């Protein structure tokens, strides 16, 4: 009687197909995970840059607006023209304006405007005579200045600050 020897060398076709399918599924899941991690990194980096730009602009404007001595009647909801008194008792007329064509916030004296922030969605200034901050207050009658900066990269998160100028007459 002859004993039949089974052929156990190599893999069967079904084993190869199942292995390839499992490797493919694992690679697809790993790819999705890598894409989500990279997307989260890019989102965080963009938000960090936006927050840093906003913090710089808000801090600078707060410092500028604290030194306001008088507001010009030409100021409106996207431009503020004011006279600032410096520590050396000199006075300078400064303009802060939103250039919607270039999406930039400009600050400086009439002959020397500098970019304070770019890639802006909007910049609005509200002039308040009291804490309720009713609309329609003339810049000349204002006691409190509220400004809002909105960036294109984060339109759902505006940066707002209220400033009470210490030298405003």
User: Quick check: is 119 in a domain?
Assistant: yes
Domain count, the chain: 1
3 state SS of 156:
coil
Digit-by-digit pLDDT tens for the chain (169 residues) are 566 666 667 778 898 999 999 999 999 999 999 999 999 999 889 888 888 988 999 999 998 888 888 888 777 778 888 888 777 777 888 888 888 888 899 998 877 889 998 888 888 888 887 777 766 667 767 788 888 888 888 778 888 888 888 877 7
User: Quick check: is 7 in a domain?
Assistant: no
Domain of 58 in residue numbering reads as: 38-163
User: Quick check: is 69 in a domain?
Assistant: yes
Write down the pTM of the prediction: 0.72
The rounded distance, in Å, linking the Cα atoms of 108 and 59 is 15
User: Quick check: is 21 in a domain?
Assistant: no
User: Quick check: is 169 in a domain?
Assistant: no
Q: Which residue has the tokens 């008792």?
A: 89
Q: Which residue has the tokens 């003339």?
A: 138
User: Quick check: is 24 in a domain?
Assistant: no
């Amino acid at each position: 009687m002859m004993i039949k020897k089974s052929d156990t060398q190599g893999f069967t076709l079904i084993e190869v197909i199942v292995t390839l399918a499992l490797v493919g599924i694992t690679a697809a899941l790993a790819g999705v995970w890598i894409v989500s991690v990279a997307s989260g990194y890019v989102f965080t980096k963009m938000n960090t840059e936006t927050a840093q730009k906003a913090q710089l602009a808000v801090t600078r404007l707060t410092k500028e607006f604290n030194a306001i001595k008088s507001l010009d009647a030409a100021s409106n909801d996207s431009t503020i023209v004011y006279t600032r008194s410096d520590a050396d008792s000199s006075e300078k007329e400064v303009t802060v304006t939103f250039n919607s064509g270039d999406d930039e916030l400009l600050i400086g004296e009439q002959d020397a405007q500098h970019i304070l922030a770019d890639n802006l969605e909007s910049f609005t200034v509200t002039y308040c005579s009291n804490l309720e901050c009713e609309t329609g207050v003339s810049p000349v009658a204002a006691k409190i200045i509220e400004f809002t900066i909105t960036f294109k990269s984060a339109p759902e998160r505006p940066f707002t600050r209220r400033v009470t100028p210490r030298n405003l007459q």
